[in-house]
Amino acid sequence: KDPENYELYSFKELGRGEPRFVETGREIIAGQYSGISGFRHLMGKMEVTFSSKEETQEILELVRYANVESQKPLVEDQLLFIAKYPKIAKKLLTLTPLE
């Protein structure tokens, strides 16, 4: 991805020279607007793989719903739970109006 698309000022404009990309420099999080590539990368760092693009998309959709519900990025335990138990996560994220 091109950092100029999402960073207000470049490293050179701030007088910091050439950018150095280190693991702690930028954080990829899973949230409401997460893309499938970033999500696969994030889950891969947690040693979670998916059998198909459809499965990845289904889990990502649940992660997005959970993010909207909690109004903050999900932590590793939440992501692992959703990936391991998608049916349970879907039930937990289903909102039923009171009668």
Domain presence at residue 57? yes
Domain presence at residue 3? no
The per-residue pLDDT for 3 is 73
Measured distance CA(41)–CA(37) in Å, rounded = 6
Percent of the chain with pLDDT over 70: 82
Regarding predicted confidence, which is higher, 34 or 87? 87
Domain presence at residue 9? no
Note the pLDDT tens digit of each residue in 14-36.
Answer: 877 676 666 655 566 676 667 88
What pTM, to 2 d.p., does this model score? Answer: 0.65
Domains contained in the chain, number: 1
Write out the residue range of the structural domain in which residue 72 sits: 29-92
